[in-house]
A and B are shown apart, each in its own frame.
Chain A
Amino acid sequence: NAGVTQTPKFQVLKTGQSMTLQCAQDMNHNSMYWYRQDPGMGLRLIYYSASEGTTDKGEVPNGYNVSRLNKREFSLRLESAAPSQTSVYFCASSITGAGETEAFFGQGTRLTVV
């Protein structure tokens, strides 16, 4: 059982480039999330999808877009990368809302914007 799979694991972008981070879960979870983690800080919610077909902004959505492609997949897109977006990005999923049950996390994508 793979759980939550993120690709790529590492990425270096130049300022202004775009890219999409992919996330897939095989646990039949309804809800999916994207977080970013900066050094010395906790995880901050970027966007979430409560269920297939819905997406909502989290705490730090500026500079990002998301797509809930189907129940399994939830992608995060950076249209014009900025150095401030250098971070480790985590995708997570849960059966319902994160507060109902535990959220399962992927291994993370380490993104550097130069």
Chain B
Amino acid sequence: GESVGLHLPTLSVQEGDNSIINCAYSNSASDYFIWYKQESGKGPQFIIDIRSNMDKRQGQRVTVLLNKTVKHLSLQIAATQPGDSAVYFCAENLNTGFQKLVFGTGTRLLVSP
């Protein structure tokens, strides 16, 4: 079916560590993926995106990796800071007519000082 899921519902790290948040998607036809960050009481905020013709994309302190063979997406956050504490969602574009995003259930990242 069409679904996006995450392996770890909660990830706890120490400040300064690198964090890796994983996501599995089920639709092999999906051609565009986005990672969103949601802080408590706020709407999701765009972090980084990647198209299916790429394997890796880097931003400021963040890297997204896409493995189409196993339908797996990951978000790497370097030198994690307390301000990175939030829920992270991956979303996929199903590429079925008008492009709509399907969101995963989210992973909570807790960063300890």
A complexed with B? yes
Residues of A that sit less than 8 Å from B by CB: 4, 33, 35, 40-45, 48, 50, 56, 58-59, 90, 92, 96-100, 102-108
Counted as pairs of residues, one from A and one from B, with CB atoms less than 8 Å apart, the total is 66
A102-B98 CB under 8 A given contacts A40-B105, A90-B44: no
Q: How far is the CB of A93 from chain B (nearest CB, A)?
A: 11
Beta-carbon contact of B99 and A42 below 8 Å = no
Interchain residue pairs with CB less than 8 A apart (8): A42-B105, A43-B89, A45-B102, A48-B100, A98-B93, A99-B93, A99-B100, A107-B41
Please give, as numbers and ranges, the residues of chain A lying within 8 Å of B100 by CB-CB distance: 33, 45, 48, 58, 97-99
Mask, B13-39, CB within 8 Å of A = 1, is 000000000000000000110100000
Please give, as numbers and ranges, the residues of chain A lying within 8 Å of B105 by CB-CB distance: 40-42
